[in-house]
Structure 1
Amino acid sequence: MVNQTLIFHFTEVGKISKHFIDCGVTVRNENVANFQLWDAVDYNHRLHPERLLSINELSEKVLKLEDLEVEVEYQGQTIEKFGLEFDGVNFLLTNKQTDCLAKEKCRIPQKKSKVQLSELRGNEESCTPGTGCC
């Protein structure tokens, strides 16, 4: 999880298709592979790795999962959605954010980076006092 806790109960895998119109009036289609995880204290019904692998292999064939982005559902205050990353050892749930997909059409200004004046460096071609270029 994002908060470093380990969760373990895999309950389903699916393919979610989303066909929608964004705020810029663009029709979009998105498909994700969806895993649902459940936090339970029932240690006797955890899936063994071989079983999870067989479910994943079957879902790839039956659901035609292709090479899709993976989204993970997990129960929090409500059903929460997370991204999925791998750090070389563990799979990590990552935060997902809502976003405007049509920023230009909606005239959403881009964030400007703030720079400290002390961090600005002139290049050698800049005019400096005493050089007679100004």
Structure 2
Amino acid sequence: MKHALAGIEAVTFRLPTGEYLPAHFHVTEVGLVSKHFIDCGGVERRETVVNFQLWEAGDYDHRLAPQKFLHILNLSEKILGSEDLDIEVEYQQATIGKFGLTREGNDFVLTPKQTACLAQDACGVPAAQQFALPQLQVAACTPGGGCC
């Protein structure tokens, strides 16, 4: 991400809908998040990501310059280390949204994240009953229908 900040004039984040975050957003946190868990198949797992928290307030004159963002990232190196980790972004919407991050041109693009069963072979859900999230939103579940 640091190399991407070197060649741009403004830091812009775009939501999956195509909308841009307001130009007066803040980076309120840069952190290292570790998750140690057991999946539904009983397998112990660990995940570690770099986490940015983006926030907007009523200070409409605020603008995060690429040099300032780079300075924040440099300060966070003592926590993040030098490992190349995935980046996760939190952004306040109706609730805190969690996104992946990619880059398109000069924009940083927040990408949707989805839940998934990590032990599909062990959790007992037949493949015919596994739906992608968009399908679940439109599927009609009825008692005894097997989907709820």
Same fold (TM over 0.5): yes
Aligned counterparts, 1:79-94, within 5 A: 79-94=96-111
Identity among equivalent positions (%) equals 56
Deviations 1:66-109 (A, max 9, x none): 21100000001111100101112211001100110000112434
Which amino acid in 2 is paired with 1:6?
Y
Give the paired residue count.
112
Conserved? CA contact 2:32–2:79, under 8 Å? no
- Cα-to-partner distance string for 1:22-65 (whole Å, 9 max, x where unaligned): 10000001000000011334233332221110111121233325
- TM-score when scaled to structure 2? 0.68
- The aligned counterpart of 1:66 is 83
Distance in structure 2 (CA, Å) of the matches to 1:22 and 1:93: 26
| Structure 1, unaligned runs of 5 or more | 112-134
Alignment of 1:19-98 (within 5 A): 19-64=36-81, 66-98=83-115
State the Cα RMSD in Å: 1.9
1:75–1:65: structure 2 CA closer, same or farther, 3 Å change rule? farther
Shift of 1:4: 1.4
**1:3 aligned partner:** 17
Unaligned runs of 5+ in 2: 1-14, 129-148
TM-score (norm 1): 0.75
Instruction: Assess, with a 3 A threshold, how the Cα gap between structure 1 residues 65 and 43 changes in structure 2: closer, same or farther.
Output: farther
Q: Is the contact made by 2:51 and 2:87 (CA closer than 8 Å) also made in structure 1?
A: yes
Partner Cα separation in structure 2 for residue 64 and residue 108 of structure 1? 39
Task: Give the structure with the higher percent helix.
Answer: 2
Relative contact order, higher structure (CA 8 A, sep 6+): 2
Q: 1:6-26, CA deviations, whole angstroms, 9 ceiling, x for partnerless residues?
A: 113221110100000010000
Once residues 29 and 39 of structure 1 are traced to their aligned partners in structure 2, the CA distance between those partners, rounded to angstroms, is 31
